Structure 1
Amino acid sequence: MTTLTNIGAVRPAPARGGRDYVGIGLWIALAVTALLWFLPLYLMFMTSVKGLPDINSSPMWALPSSWEWGNYADAIDTGDLWVTAGNSLLIAAIKVPLGLGLAAAAAFALARIRFRGSRITMMVIAVGSMVPIQIGLGPLFSTMLELDLLDSRLGLVLPYLAFGIPYQIFVLYGFFRGVPDELEESARIDGASTFRIFWQIILPLAKPALAALFVLDFVATWNEYAMATTLLRSQDNWTIPLAVQSFSTQHGTDYGPMNAFIFMSAIPVLLVYLLFQRYFVQGALAGAVKG
C-alpha cells in the first residue's frame, strides 16, 4: 500500500498564533524570481508595440502612446518568419528526439552492461561534453565543406548531434546507475531481453530526466547561433537566430519589429515547456511516496 512519507517533517509547523517566517520567505523568493523572469518578456512586448519615436523618447517599461501592432506584420515579412521558424522546427524535430534516443541507449549500455573499457569510454564522453563549440568551428566548417554538406539543414543536424549527445549521456548515465539492480534481475528471471528491459523498464522510469533534457535540448537547438552562422549561407536555410540579423541595416536597427519577431519566436519554446511540465512535477514528487 502506498503511503506518504513524513511530508510534514520537511519543515516544522509554526506555533499556534505565530508567523510562518519560512513560508513567508519562500513566497517572497518565489515572487522575486517570477518578477525577474517576467520583466524581460514584458519589456520585449512593450518594445514590440512601440514606434521609433516612443522607443527613443519614453522609458522601456512605459505604455506606448500608440500601439503599433503593424510591427508584427513587418516582423513576419522582414524575418521571413514562416521559413526560418520552419527550418528551426524541422532541425529541432529531427535532432532532439534522435539525439535523446542515441544518448539514452549509450547511457544504458555504459551504466547497466558490464564490459571492459566502460569507465574509460565514460571519461572520454565526459570530456567531450565540456568541449566549447567555438574551438571546433574552423575544423567543422572544413569538414562540412569536404562532405558537401555546407549550407544545408542536414549539415547542421549532424554537428548538433555530435556536440549535444555527450552531455545527455553524462546526465542519463547517473540516472540509470541509480536504478536498483533488483528491477533488472527480476526482469531477466522472467525472460526479458536486454532491449526489453531498456524499453519497458528503464526508459519509463527515466521520463522526468528525459523530459528535462528534451526541453533543454529543444531550447538550445532553437536558439543556437554560432554553428548556424558558420555553416548556413543562403537565407532559405536560415534559422530563427540568423533571421534576427535581417532587422539590422547600415542605418540602424528596427527595434520594434525585431522585438516582435523575437517575442513570436519564443512561443514554440513556451509550448514545448507546457507540454512537458507535468513530467517535472512527477519527478519532484517521486521521492515523496514509497510503496
Structure 2
Amino acid sequence: GVADQNGTLGTAEETMETLVTVGNRVTVCGLLEDNNTSGTDFYVFDVQSGTSAGTVDGTVDYCFENSFEDATIEVWAKGVSNPLATFTTAHTEGSFDVELLDGEKHYLSVAANSAPYTAANYTLTVEVESMMTPIFSEGFEVWPPLNFTVTDDDPCLDWAQSSQTVVPPGEWPTEGSNLAYFNSYDCQTGSESLVTSSLNLSAANTVLLFIDMFHDPGYGGSFDNIQVQYDDGNGWINIGLQLDRPAQVQGWETEMVDLSALAGKTSVALRLFTTTAYGNNIHIDNVALMSK
C-alpha cells in the first residue's frame, strides 16, 4: 500500500516506482477507505513479453475484507483514452479478464463506489495468461504499404506517406520513420480506402485491430473519420464504431476495434474506409491485426 492514495494517473506515474513481477504476475496490497478522505488508489506496472505480440490475455484476481460494500477496479494503458477493463462490483473475492497491451505501461486503480465505505484491506493480482499473435503489422515505412492496397477513387483525395503530420504539422510517427495521412484538409467531400488482401481467420477465436490515430481539436465540427469495414463475399459491411479525427486534446491515441465477429471466417478482406468532412488531415501509424 505504499503507492496508494495518490489521486490521479499523472500523480501515480510521477510518484511511484513501477511494480516488479514475480513470474508472470504482479500483486499489490492496500487499504481502501472512504473516498471523501482517501480517494482512488493507483498502481503502475509494465507488460513486456519481449515478443511485440501486441496484446496479452490477463486476469485480475481480487480479495477485499469488506463483504458488503462494492469497489470499482479499472485497468488502464498509457496513451489509451478508455480503460481496458472496468469491474464495478468488487467485494469479498473474485476475478475478471482483461486484454493488456504488450510493451506498454499500465495503471491499476481501486476506488470505493460510495461514501461512507468501511475501510478494508485488499489484495489485487494481475496475471498474464496467453499472448495474441500478429496477423500483420503495418508501420508505413515503405509506400505503397506492404499490407494494404491504396484506392484512388476520388481525384482530390489521397492516402500518402509522410515523415511527420501534415495538417496540423510537425508531430512524429508513433514508431519508425513514417506515417500515413489522408488529405481531408484539401477536399470538401469524398472517400478513399486502405484495403487488405483476403485473410484467413478460421483458426482465430478473438480478432482485434489496433490503429495509432492522431487526434486534434481543429475544425471540431468536421468529423473526418475512418470506418473499419469487412467483405466476406457479401459486399462491404461496417464493423465497430466510426473513428473520428476531432478531439479536445491533440495527440496520438491507440484505437482498438474488436473484429471477433469475423473469427472463423476462411476468407475476409478489411478496409479502412476514410471520409473527409473538410477538417484537418487524418494521420495513422502502427496498424496491427492480432488474433488468438
TM normalised by structure 2 equals: 0.24
From the two aligned structures, give the one with the greater helix fraction: 1
From the two aligned structures, give the one with the greater strand fraction: 2
Bigger RCO (CA 8 Å, 6+ sep): 1
